[in-house]
Amino acid sequence: MITQKMKYALKALLVLGDEAARETPEALTIEEIARRSGAPKRFLEHILLEIRKTGVIASSRGRAGGYTLIKKPAEVSISELLRRIDGPIAPLPCLSRSAYQRCEDCTDEATCRIRKVFAEVFWSYLVLIDSLTLEDMMRSSDVSEQVIGA
């Protein structure tokens, strides 16, 4: 399950991605991103700083300042953002790539049936989530709008 913080991050990135796709994109202020995304401004400031540290967006100061998407949407990995914003995404600490820990009550990982079952589900999830990009999400919203408008 993703956190509300991650949902706000994705909403903000979708707004920045839509802006980047315009013929003459502009930097967007936090206020404008909040208005377009429906995310609270007070949370966005911290979230956008975290995303900026990943090199996905940039900020500029001044009258025409704000945030811009600096990576192509196809290069923005959703799984990397999930890990950065929410932390490890594995259902068990012994399955985590980035924060592996042996389970305290485990005597043998090789024969642990709980680990085996969750590993199978988790690896399937990883195949999907590791391939997901911001571009996929942007296309998904286009399809949703077409279906809703039909």
Burial class (CB in 10 A: 0-12, 13-18, 19+), 129: middle
**Greatest CA separation for the chain:** 61
Please state, in angstroms and rounded to a whole number, the distance separating the CA atoms of residues 120 and 91. Answer: 11
Q: What 3-state DSSP class applies to 66?
A: strand
- 122 lies in some domain: no
- 65 lies in some domain: yes
pTM of model > 0.75: yes
What residues make up the domain containing 66? 1-76
pLDDT at 40: 94
Banded model confidence at residue 62, pLDDT cuts 50, 70, 90: confident
Q: Identify the H or E element spanning 9.
A: helix 4-20
Mean pLDDT of 106-122: 89
pLDDT at 11: 95
Banded model confidence at residue 143, pLDDT cuts 50, 70, 90: very low
| pLDDT at position 134 over 90 | yes
**CATH number reported for the structural domain that contains residue 51 in this entry:** 1.10.10.10
Domain count, the chain: 1
- 3 lies in some domain: yes
